A and B are shown apart, each in its own frame.
Chain A
Amino acid sequence: MENEIIKVYFVGDQIPAEENNNTPRERVKMFSQKVKAIKDELKKDVVGQGEIIDNVIVAIVAGGNVLLEGVPGVGKTRLVRSLGRVLSLPFSRIQFTPDLMPSDVTGANVVEKDENGRLNTKFRKGPIFANLVLADEINRATPKTQSAMLEVMQEHKVTVGNEVHKIAEPFFVLATENPIEQDGTYPLPEAQMDRFVFKLIVNFPSDADLVDIVKMTQKTLDETASAVITGEEILEMRRLASDVLVADEVLRYAIKLVSGTHPELKTCAPSTKKYVKYGASPRAAQALVTCAKVKALMEGRYNVSYDDINELAYPVLRHRIKVNFTAVNDKLGVDDVIEMIIKETKKVKK
């Protein structure tokens, strides 16, 4: 185990042919096995939340960041911690507080004495330099600190001074936030929100799940999930997923769905005109198709379907759409509006 060499590839890197000599069918098989293994391990620590786990896996394979929103105690942090262990990747946790500074996240240049006693500046990496970062209570940090996350979340690099520090792939930020407590919090900037591929709502567990949670925690609070997948394997899964086929019509539908969230466009859905203040960015369309490919492969398909797009529309669009006062007045949430847009876009499709 000590001698095992982990090769890390960055996005866009070509895997050498000799390392990619498995048949397509074997690679797909490996994909399914890994997904299953991740799920099984996570279930050891997290009770219920099957859909959340699935979507988190989708986001990780797709290479996106995830924002988990839920009331305290529903297992958000535990899920991410467990994931950190399952993925067998360097994991770091940043507890976001109002006094957290950007350098506390990204790292900073510090003055150090070398062996000869001379003073040199040296970049000391912050906690962001990991493959999996848990940004706990992300909305408690000031906008200044949150802005420090923008570059790393999108471009997977950190610029300090004149130096650019690349972050090893795979890299994900899994952030949590509390929707109830508003005191001492700062709403996330739209630019940052857009960098999360998914916003997942972690609901209160069902009674049955709650029973299991209570029973499990009576025995031990330890998290038992173990590593089942390497970074290299995740990148391989990502590459495989990117090859999944998308029919032109399905692709057009995904784009129509995203552009349909823009009330300023003539082609938008009627509900958009009524309830949406501003729509999703082009990143949403990219995220929708990329994640749909992963989801299709997870379900054993080699092509994306309308259902994939429709199901993923909620986590992809809910933090990218801003509803207006009419929606609030009509007691409609973002998910309700998305549902309406989907239905109206389906009609156009037919």
Chain B
Amino acid sequence: MPILVVILASIAGAVGGQLSLKRGMNRVGRVGRRSQMVWTRGLSSILLGLGFYGVSTLLWLYTLSKVELSYAFPFVSLSYVAIIFGARFGLQEQLHPSRLLGSLLIVTGVLVVSLS
């Protein structure tokens, strides 16, 4: 399998994992003082999210054993774009301008870091 596919699968796994964890915690409820949480409601999404994350981490370790970090790292910036789309269309979050601008800056920063 081409390394590019492995890298993209790793990024997709990390993004899918975060979306799934967030979906689970939305069902569980807010963690904090005097909160009423129902862990069983979100458990399946949380376990799925952790599973995604585990696979993504293994794929990333495999990637780093094959190519230089400087080759793989720029692809990390894709995850910020994917999270924005996933949060908007998967989780119905409101994309306030500060969130878009901030994420865009972080994407730029990651790309600059990967040039070094």
Q: Do A and B come from one complex?
A: no
